[in-house]
Amino acid sequence: MNRSLFHFAAPLLFASLSLAQQPATAPAHHRAHAATAPLPPTDKIWANLMAGNQRFVAGKTHAYAVVSLRRELASGQKPHVIVLSCSDSRVAPELVFDQSLGDLFVVRTAGNVADPVGLGSIEYAVDHIHSPVLVVLGHQKCGAVTAACSGEKMPSRNLEAIVDKINPAVTQAKTYAKSDDLIESAIKENVHQSAKDLLANSEIVRDAVKAGKLTIIEAEYQLASGEVVRLNPPASGQN
Ligand SMILES: [Zn+2]
């Protein structure tokens, strides 16, 4: 891989990071992530996302101080979480996890599939920002998965490329799902398929997971309730 972009961008991202540090008394949701602060363990990061999701479900989201946050983050970012999610307008990760500027490094594609460009974006966050958690977030009634389940030919090569990435999940779901729950089963399989693709197609992601520096969490968003449900249980002994 040509890493010259990273070498160019890294100094810009990490310049003057001390400006991002906030007084210890600042409320957690008003505090930018200081690059020098130790990263919280994975379970704490996930618990924070779940707490945000519960606020979203209850309609009691935080009023973030976006003006001061924006200024603090102008000097650098240190998001704890990478999210690979669907482009669907109902599944905006910052909203459903009630997070703010600088909290999530988000890659969105229809069907939450990772093509080389999306994977490259994720590798950037893993390799240079060192985000320790990667959430693959699917959702109920996903149009991209529904299209793949239909088996119909797509009207363009680009749309076909999305369906091609989802097809293995549909094939897997067909081994056990009945026709009336094929789509919902394929949606869950597709989250798992995307997580497997990340490991299979990226040495950087694979090495980070092996080294215990990155945890991949598979999850599904429930359209009506607003809840995010984890699909893969935490590994025993995982921090
Ligand atoms: Zn979708």
- Whichever domain contains 151, its CATH number is 3.40.1050.10
Residue 190: which domain range?
Answer: 40-230
Q: Mean pLDDT: which of 5-14, 18-27, 109-118 is highest? A: 109-118
User: pLDDT (tens digit, 9 = 90+) per residue, 116-136?
Assistant: 999 999 999 999 999 999 999
Number of domains in the chain: 1
Q: Give the three-state DSSP class for 176.
A: coil
CA of residue 9 to ligand 1 center, whole Å: 31
Asked if residue 29 has pLDDT above 50, the reply is no
* CA 77 to ligand 1 center in whole angstroms: 28
Which residues make beta-bridge pairs with 40?
Answer: none
Per the domain annotation, does 92 fall within a domain? yes
Helix (H, G, I), strand (E, B) or coil at 109: coil
Would you place residue 233 in the very low, low, confident or very high pLDDT band (cuts 50, 70, 90)?
confident
Task: Judge whether 239 lies within some domain.
Answer: no
Quick check: is 26 in a domain? no
Q: Looking at the domain assignment, is residue 120 inside a domain?
A: yes
For residue 144, what pLDDT is reported? 98
Distance 110 CA to ligand 1 centre (A): 6
- Predicted local confidence at residue 235, as pLDDT: 66
What pLDDT does residue 100 have? 97
Contact partners, residue 193, CB within 8 Å, separation at least 6: 165, 166, 168, 169, 172
Ligand 1 centroid, distance to 145 Cα (angstroms): 7
Q: In what order do the strands lie in the sheet with 104-108?
A: 104-108, 81-85, 133-139, 215-221, 228-230
Average pLDDT of the chain is 87
Q: How confident is the model at residue 194 (pLDDT cuts 50, 70, 90)?
A: very high
